Amino acid sequence: MRNLRDIPYINNLSEEEIFNIEVAARVCPFKTNNYVVEKLIDWENYADDPLFLLNFPQKNMLLPHFFDELSDDVRMGNEERIKTTVRKIHYSMNPHPAGQLKYNVPTLNGKKLKGLQHKYHETVLVFPKRGQTCHAYCTFCFRWPQFTGYSELKMGLSDVNVLLEYLKYHPEVTDLLYTGGDPLVMKASTLEEFILPVIEADLPGLQNIRIGSRVLTYWPYRFLTDKDSKELLGLFTRIVRSGKHLAFMAHFNHPKELETEEVQEAIARIRETGAEIRTQSPLLRNINDDPDIWIQMWHKQVELGCIPYYMFVVRDTGAQHYFGVPLVEAYEIYREAFKAVSGLARTVRGPSMSATPGKIMITGTPEIRGEKVIALTMIQARNPDWVLKPFFAEYNRSAYWIDDLTPAFDKEYFFFEKPEMEFEYFIKNLFG
């Protein structure tokens, strides 16, 4: 469903509310489906309903001056102006954060490989071309350039042989992470074309196949009643039987997403194949910025046999002014929730920022020799040598991202920003 007015419950909203969503949806791509609308959203209390806010773009997800400009254009019905304004807003929203296009695209024989990203040694991200959409779109999503038709910003792998060739030269890769969009929008037979050849290639270093997906939230029928549900589960079984670890990286933002019979049955079926389900979510203002929500979510996940994996800091892209939670507060929420769950849920790590140098985690706010600071460390890094080195920033309750932080103790740089570090790494990469 892409047309708001086709949704029966939309009559619960005022004409103005509907218009506001229509305006915001010009910027944040909108797509939903009957599972989300009928089983997840509470239409009696839609205004505060997390699933409604996750799926239906809101007026205040745009900065006020942008919203006013765009709503004027929409009222005038001037499609040319609408297009220009939308483009301007999109480019103000940092479409490819963390150097995604600049640093992470790998090359082979001097040619850039579209549809792959290789940032951390062990893991290659695979973006199959036909998986560059989702069953429904999240309003906070940082991958929206892939859905909004900017050709220069689109990614996608169409030929699995490119991946195979690349892996031959990269024996350090243990993990492939199939991502998107959502790779599980693809037919099982299409997904198979991207996975089976890799498994059959008998690459000695390859251990883990990961599939990153939000399908359990948005379309659990993928494992229940879709035409090729059995085939998809069969593919999972084949991956596991081949001796690879299959990790289903499930994306859940709220405990409500785990409550339906459908999602619980889908989780059970995935687990029967021998795949493990690991869960991750960003911490989002207005959606899950409360430790109790995370406690409930992690409890339920462990109960259903899923393994909590990451809590992310929402990226410096898209509607960050609406969804962003400052780093210190994110740490406090994480700690409050972590304190209250058993060790089985403490597999979760965070709050973590996927920033240009790596995944940066906030580990505390200690006072060191009279100076209150933010303690940080990297749990993943472009340069593996940077992992788990503690470093410190000046205490700042209004910082939302690493760029907002200043090194503590009068240092000029964070250790990974030193020009000679960059140079050393550049040289190392140049000569293999």
Binding footprint of ligand PLP on the chain (CB under 6 A): 117, 119-120, 123, 125, 177, 354, 359, 380
Q: Do residues 214 and 251 touch, judged by C-beta distance below 8 A?
A: yes
318 binds ligand SF4 (CB under 6 A): no
**Residue placing its CB nearer to ligand SF4 in the complex, 85 or 253:** 253
Question: Kind and range of the H or E element at 87?
Answer: helix 79-91
181 binds ligand SF4 (CB under 6 A): yes
**Residue placing its CB nearer to ligand SF4 in the complex, 251 or 256:** 251
Token readout for 71 is 């709503």
**Residue placing its CB nearer to ligand PLP in the complex, 89 or 314:** 314
Give the three-state DSSP class for 363. Answer: strand
**Residue placing its CB nearer to ligand PLP in the complex, 41 or 125:** 125
Instruction: Determine the interface stretch with ligand SF4 among 5-13, 60-68, 120-128, 180-188 (rule: CB under 6 A).
Output: 180-188
| Interaction residues for ligand SF4, span 235-254 (CB under 6 A) | 251
Choose the contact partner of 117 out of ligand PLP, ligand SF4, none; CB within 5 to 8 A by kind: ligand PLP
Judged by CB under 6 A, which of 13, 53, 116, 141 binds ligand SF4? Answer: 141
Judged by CB under 6 A, which of 61, 138, 186, 211 binds ligand SF4? Answer: 138
219 binds ligand SF4 (CB under 6 A): no
Q: Do residues 4 and 22 touch, judged by C-beta distance below 8 A?
A: yes
Other beta carbons less than 10 A from residue 271's beta carbon: 16
Helices (H), 118-273: 160-168, 188-200, 215-218, 229-241, 261-272
Q: Do residues 380 and 359 touch, judged by C-beta distance below 8 A?
A: yes
**Residue placing its CB nearer to ligand PLP in the complex, 24 or 381:** 381
Residue 138 beta carbon to ligand SF4: minimum distance, rounded to whole angstroms: 3
The contacts of residue 427 (CB under 8 Å, 6+ apart) are none
143 binds ligand SF4 (CB under 6 A): yes
Report cis status (omega within 30 of 0) of the bond before 171.
Answer: no
DSSP secondary-structure letter at 40? Answer: I
**Residue placing its CB nearer to ligand SF4 in the complex, 214 or 359:** 214
> What torsion do the CA atoms of 349, 355, 360, 361 make, to the nearest 10 degrees?
-50
Residue among 239, 338, 364 nearest 283 (CA): 338
222 binds ligand SF4 (CB under 6 A): no
Choose the contact partner of 222 out of ligand PLP, ligand SF4, none; CB within 5 to 8 A by kind: none
310 binds ligand SF4 (CB under 6 A): no
Residue 117 beta carbon to ligand PLP: minimum distance, rounded to whole angstroms: 6
Other beta carbons less than 10 A from residue 171's beta carbon: 11
Choose the contact partner of 311 out of ligand PLP, ligand SF4, none; CB within 5 to 8 A by kind: none
Choose the contact partner of 178 out of ligand SF4, ligand PLP, none; CB within 5 to 8 A by kind: none
214 binds ligand SF4 (CB under 6 A): yes
Q: How far apart are CA 27 and CA 85, in angstroms?
A: 9
182 binds ligand SF4 (CB under 6 A): yes
Instruction: Compute φ and ψ for 322, nearest 5 degrees.
Output: -90, -45
**Residue placing its CB nearer to ligand SF4 in the complex, 89 or 408:** 89
Residue 57 beta carbon to ligand PLP: minimum distance, rounded to whole angstroms: 25
257 binds ligand SF4 (CB under 6 A): no
Q: What burial letters (b/e) apply to 35-48, b meaning 16+ CB within 10 Å?
A: bbbebbbebeebee
The contacts of residue 85 (CB under 8 Å, 6+ apart) are 66, 69, 70, 73
Q: Which residues bind ligand SF4 (CB under 6 A)?
A: 134, 137-138, 141, 143, 180-182, 214, 251
